[in-house]
């Protein structure tokens, strides 16, 4: 057996792959916090907390989100062909925690209303933005499914985004204030691309 050289302070230590190592890796990458929502065929609202969301395309406007293949929210998204992505503000930590539990009646703990066009669950108190999406494609990836969505339109209002990293929540410090209800502005898909021209996208 060959001895490994001792690690000096401040030097990175190599770790073999595995569930724990991968979780530790991803905890070092802070991200925004979303609640992905859908409506099943009986009209019941479903949703879960998700940090696996990113932009895909500017023209047409598309995003993706990743959900466990056994998720009831995922099944509703694929069955109805639509879903909403609620971007939580800094005051939405309680909602993030609720939608990360196994509680079947998560919507009883939050205020919500249908989005303007598709009638998808919008967390009016806890989200400072919500995007209505049409399912464009879904691909299995390990124990998750990557769902690509065409963004039909968005509701936005000022707010400080909620972040998650290092296994804890934090607020974006570049903007102050928690948005108030009734100030959201709907932007249809026809203007999403032009109004998002400055958004960073993967090259």
| Domains within the chain, CATH numbers bracketed | 20-172 (2.30.110.10)
8 A C-beta contact, residue 84 and residue 114: no
Is the pLDDT reported for residue 193 higher than 70? no
The pLDDT of residue 202: 39
Q: What is the DSSP letter of 172?
A: -
In the chain, count of helices (H) and strands (E)?
A: 4, 13
The token pair that represents 43 in the structure block:
């009209």
Q: What is the DSSP letter of 89?
A: B
Q: Write the pLDDT tens digit of every residue in 132-169.
A: 999 999 999 999 999 999 999 999 998 899 999 877 89
- Which element (helix H / strand E) includes 195? helix 189-195
What whole-number distance in Å separates Cα of residue 24 and Cα of residue 141? 20
């Amino acid at each position: 057996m060959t001895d490994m050289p001792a690690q000096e302070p401040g030097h990175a230590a190599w770790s073999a792959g595995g569930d724990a190592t991968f979780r530790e890796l991803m905890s070092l990458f802070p991200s925004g916090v979303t609640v992905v929502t859908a409506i099943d065929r009986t009209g019941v609202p479903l949703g879960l907390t998700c940090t696996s969301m990113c932009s895909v395309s500017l023209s047409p406007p598309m995003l993706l989100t990743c959900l466990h293949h056994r998720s009831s929210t995922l099944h509703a998204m694929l069955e109805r062909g639509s879903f909403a992505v609620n971007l939580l503000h800094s005051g939405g930590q309680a909602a993030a925690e609720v939608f990360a539990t196994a509680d079947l009646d998560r919507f009883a703990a939050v205020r919500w209303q249908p989005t303007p066009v598709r009638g998808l669950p919008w967390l009016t108190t806890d989200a400072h933005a919500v995007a209505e999406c049409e399912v464009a494609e879904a691909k299995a990836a390990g124990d998750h499914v990557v769902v690509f969505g065409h963004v039909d339109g968005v509701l936005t209002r000022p707010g400080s985004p909620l972040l998650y990293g290092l296994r804890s929540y934090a607020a974006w410090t570049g903007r102050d204030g928690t948005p108030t209800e009734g100030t959201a502005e709907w932007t249809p898909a026809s203007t999403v691309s032009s109004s998002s021209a400055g958004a960073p996208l993967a090259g």
